[in-house]
Amino acid sequence: MAKMIPSVLSPEIKSAAEKHIFQWFKEDPSTKDWIVLHSLGISNHRTVIHGETDFFVLAPYMGLFALEVKGGRVSRKNGIWQYTDRYGNTTKKARGPFEQAWDGVHSITDDIKKKVDNSHRNLENVFYGIGVMFPDIEYQAVGCDEEQWQVFDVNDGYRVGDYVRRLFDGAQKRWEETFQNTVSFDKLPTESDVRYIADLLRGDFDKAVAISAKIRDSEEELVRLTEQQYRCIDQISDNKRSLILGGAGTGKTLLAIEAAKNAAAEGKRTAMFCFNRNLGSWIEQYFKKMPVSVRPQYYGTFHQYMMKSIKNNSNKSTDHLDVYSSEFYQNKLPVLAKEAIQEMRDRFDLVIIDEAQDLVKPQYIDVLDVCLHEGFARGQWIMFGDFSRQAIYSGSMDGTKMIDLLEEKTAFARFRLTINCRNTKHICDEITTITGFEPPKEIWSKIEGIPVEYYVYSSREEEQTKLKSVISMLIENHISPARITILSPLKRDLSIVDTVSDYKIINYSPTNTRNLSFSTIQGFKGLENMVIILVDIDTISDTNLMYVALSRARSGLYVIESKNAREEYVKLMMGRIENG
């Protein structure tokens, strides 16, 4: 199986023919020890300012072969080549693919001659050839500049290795007929020669598709509202009580904010609640920038609202209570808040709840009942939640029981968001691999983005080194530090992040515009960033936590994990393969 550079196709490649050939080279066992460069940019092209060879094959003991690929329908009329794609679009070119291939290979070998060092002077005259691939049609060579052995067509199937060997045999025979002697062995590159040439050429290639450009492109696609989200906004306005269900990345927080702004603009006394403190801070910063006319009367965490209600009631005090215990927040606070709100008679026309899976509990519903006009059963509310995968604070109550609890209290409309508009396809695929969550393919993200990258460590020192390496790589690729968040299942003082002094890493803040940020995975629920680096991953067994962690990344995801976590990952992959 050939080593492909790059190892995955760029999302910019639209040609189905190139995608197939890329996969054929990658999977053909007869191409072992070969290196295949895809879309090799040629900055010193002989005939154009900047050229490109579709595939450049470096085969040990055979040579270098430039391959042009032409998919779809192909014809030539009056010396003009015409290419028609699967959508019926036709392009015309005076220069044929064989001429393109020869120009490409001559330009590349000229470049090699200029770059080789003294110990590789034999490669100045390395053996080379060209070929043209028509994988969708049957092609008969008819021009004076082409031979049938140089052609790959539909009759060759997927046997790319055999095709390149045919190119070598044909080029060798032509050489012998032209120069009346055999090809000398020193013209044929060894395995080490092939690796050396790839290193010479790979620099220009790697620069052709910058990480920052790929992330920028995927970011532009991810920010667009889907038609499904627009329908959800309409449904919310048509129903008094609505439960909006959706997985990570389906736009729940965005829709909750839109619903709050619309209600406030209509003059409704509105509250927007969430569970997570960091998300609450982000929502606060968002609405502070908005005109007063579209701001809810309250926006922030539900627990902050309850504490504020108690403090505003002079008859209540929390001074004698342990306000730092989970027992206080889960049980005592709701009781005190309910009493305070009842005495103040402070009511909302509409309550909107993001992260509802963390707030659907009997004691919290009791508080909502007293802060809503007409109460919880008859009042107006909208809940947004992921009851299947993100209920990491729910204790023993699963998503089904939560929804049953709501149904016991009142009737409501349901709407399900299914289209992921936050994460790229590569990130979605990793979520499926690790958590087992596999929605229908038609609703999963279709935005390619960049592959998820994993780094395995065996010691704290190695983990620190790899974290600094990832940060350095991202910054060198012009990714703004503020667009990068490091997440850990551990608190900061226990995380590897606390040992890194080379970069300024602040605790997450919605007002941060300059620095790298850190948060626990739990504390970042409901939030997102362009690039996420996961650290301190010693196990992937907590699938709900990993679901939250992986789905925080919009375009770039880097996972720094222990050997134990990598072994768990491999077992998951093997199990899925065995189970089909």
Give the DSSP per-residue string, 290-349.
S-GGG--SEEEEHHHHHHHHHHHSTT---TTS-TTSHHIIIIIHHHHHHHHHHHHT--BS
User: 346 versus 263: which is more confidently predicted?
Assistant: 263
Q: Regarding the domain delimited by 227-417, which CATH topology (the fold level of the hierarchy) does it fall under?
A: Rossmann fold (3.40.50)
d(CA 329, CA 339): 15
Q: For 177-187, write each residue's pLDDT tens digit.
A: 888 788 888 88
| Confidence at residue 46, expressed as pLDDT on a 0 to 100 scale | 43
User: 207 versus 568: which is more confidently predicted?
Assistant: 568
Q: What percent of the chain has pLDDT over 70?
A: 83
Q: For 488-532, write each residue's pLDDT tens digit.
A: 999 999 999 999 999 999 999 988 889 999 999 999 988 889 899
The answer to whether domain 227-417 and domain 425-578 are alike in fold is: yes
Q: Where are the domains of the chain?
A: 3-209, 227-417, 425-578
The candidate with the shortest Cα–Cα distance to 331, out of 303, 373, 292, 372, is 303
Q: What percent of the chain has pLDDT over 90?
A: 39
89: pLDDT confidence band, cut at 50, 70 and 90? confident
pTM exceeds 0.75 for this model: no
Helices (H), 157-243: 160-179, 191-208, 211-222, 227-238
Q: Regarding the domain delimited by 425-578, which CATH topology (the fold level of the hierarchy) does it fall under?
A: Rossmann fold (3.40.50)
User: 389 versus 280: which is more confidently predicted?
Assistant: 280
d(CA 47, CA 103): 7
The encoded tokens of residue 403 equal 């929804």
What number is the average pLDDT over the span 110-131? 87
